Amino acid sequence: MKKLLLTITMFASAFAFAQHGLDKEIANIESKVIEWRRDFHQNPELSNREFKTAEKIAAHLKSLGMEVQTGIAHTGVVGILKGKKPGKVLALRADIDGLPVPERADLPFKSTAKGEYNGEEVPVMHACGHDTHIAILMGVAEIMSKNKDKIKGTIKFIFQPAEEGAPSGEEGGAKLMVKEGVLKNPDVDAIFGLHIGSGQPVNTIAYKSGGMMAAVNSFEINVKGIQSHGSTPWTSIDPIIASVKIIDGLQTLVSREMPLTTEAVVLTIGKIESGVRHNIIPESAQMLGTLRTLDADMRTTIIKRMKEMVPAIAKAYRAEATIDIDEGYPITYNDPELTAQMLPSLQKAAGAEKVSVIKAITGAEDFSFFQEEVPGLFFFLGGMAPGETQAFPHHTPDFYIDESGMLLGVKTFIQLSLDYLNN
């Protein structure tokens, strides 16, 4: 009987979706969405510096007659759309920041933008697809604002800055938005978010109930030794040697102390800096790294062991070392009940055969801060061109997204919104 009722509900909702004529409206907005995306791609801005991006978003939302809030978490924008009937409050989120990456892809709207990162001038690129997220949500906002009579409740359109992390010494991102009350007044009941993927075929959706993306912690290690001439290393305490041994030791925490059959753990040193020339043993060294975990207990354990191991290894080589680990992002956790409730909506939007369950990944998303406050569903949208079998990774100069997959993002957000609020 339950299966029959579910089938009837799915059919009725799908019929209502087509009956309202939204499929045609969605198809007609594709050219706008692509135009917006190309503009944002050509004019990216770094985290907490998305000033022009925010202005364009706010102007669009105001033109739709929405109540618009700006300056949230520095450059965040929120549009509030009230339906004709009272009901729940749903939030839809897009992140808006670019990355300090030079673009190599030969596109007519290639980015040549510059920005400042850690005190240095750097090239800026939307190397993670956030430009597509903005354009998709702007398209959803335009269609839904013209169909308020079909909405039972309220939709909050959240355009979030600094997903890639706030500049050193600053707050930002989803955590700051939550702190500043973005999920309040009116209080949000649930939140949906998406991320486009360069290696996932267009017109597909991927998701996972429960923990889908890793918790992330950044860390900084500083090693202090004694400087000397490169010809007399015995008169030095070499911070480079100590650093090498620390890196080697940290990897054993993963390979020898973590129960990897439970969940994956990744510990990466992404930067090591020391010395000024070939014949001087330097006084100090600095390392920057990232820790990715998918289990809360394993995260606690490995952080504890990192704090124990780093100074101990340095001491064994007569050096001193400190390690600072930030609070990071929590696990991106899709509420199981909400995920089960909305799975039929994902399948209606893309087609059941185009929706797949994936294993958890060690990438991270600060959408997790919203999910700590209210039930949330985060899913992946395909961005790899038809016929392709390999794609350049995110955060690289050759990153590329096929724009034909963006329309499914618009359709999926609308389908999820209507089904959640009206059913």
**Which residues, at least 6 apart from 421, have a Cβ–Cβ distance to it below 8 Å?**
83, 87, 88, 90, 151, 152, 153, 155
Question: In the chain, which residues have pLDDT < 50?
Answer: 1-19
DSSP E strand stretches across 11-127: 67-72, 76-82, 85-95, 114-117, 120-123
- Phi first, then psi, for residue 357 (nearest 5°) are -90, 135
- Give, as one character, the DSSP assignment of residue 224: E
Cβ pair 384, 403 in contact under 8 A: no
Q: How far apart are CA 399 and CA 132, in angstroms?
A: 13
What are 12's two structure tokens?
């009725």
Query: What amino acid positions are annotated as catalytic residues?
Result: 329, 403
Write out pLDDT tens, residues 44-72.
999 999 999 999 999 999 999 999 999 99
Q: How far apart are CA 12 and CA 5, in angstroms?
A: 10
Write out pLDDT tens, residues 279-330.
999 999 999 999 999 998 999 999 999 999 999 999 999 999 999 999 999 9
Cβ pair 155, 417 in contact under 8 A: yes
Provide the H-helix boundaries in 230-335: 239-252, 296-316
Mean pLDDT of the chain: 94
Q: How far apart are CA 209 and CA 92, in angstroms?
A: 18
- Give, as one character, the DSSP assignment of residue 166: P
Cβ pair 122, 112 in contact under 8 A: no
Residue 351 CB coordination number (10 Å): 13
- Smallest Cα–Cα separation from 263: which of 301, 290, 289, 206? 301
What predicted TM-score, i.e. pTM, was given to this entire model? Answer: 0.88
SS3 221: strand
Instruction: Supply the DSSP string of 216-253, one letter for each residue.
Output: EEEEEEEEE-B-EETT-GGGSB-HHHHHHHHHHHHHHI
Residue 264 CB coordination number (10 Å): 18
**Which residues, at least 6 apart from 194, have a Cβ–Cβ distance to it below 8 Å?**
133, 136, 378, 379, 380, 381, 409, 412, 413
The secondary structure element, H or E, covering residue 369 is: helix 368-373
- Smallest Cα–Cα separation from 80: which of 66, 99, 95? 66
Q: How far apart are CA 330 and CA 366, in angstroms?
A: 7
CATH label, 22-213+331-422, candidates 3.40.50.20, 3.40.50.880, 3.40.50.300, 3.40.630.10: 3.40.630.10
**Amino acid identity for residue 240 in this structure:** I
Q: How far apart are CA 37 and CA 136, in angstroms?
A: 8
Cβ pair 420, 343 in contact under 8 A: no
Beta bridge partners of 194: 379
Residue 35 CB coordination number (10 Å): 12
Q: With 0-12 CB in 10 A as exposed, 13-18 as middle and 19+ as buried, what is 179?
A: exposed
The domain locations on the chain are 22-213+331-422, 215-325
Q: How far apart are CA 327 and CA 191, in angstroms?
A: 23
Residue 116 CB coordination number (10 Å): 13
Residue 383 C-alpha from the chain's centroid? 15
User: 215-325 adopts what CATH topology?
Assistant: Alpha-Beta Plaits (3.30.70)
pLDDT at 372: 96
Q: For helices 406-422 and 30-42, what crossing angle results, to 10°?
A: 120
**Which residues, at least 6 apart from 232, have a Cβ–Cβ distance to it below 8 Å?**
none
pLDDT at 389: 85
pLDDT at 21: 67
Write out pLDDT tens, residues 175-205.
999 999 999 999 999 999 999 999 999 999 9
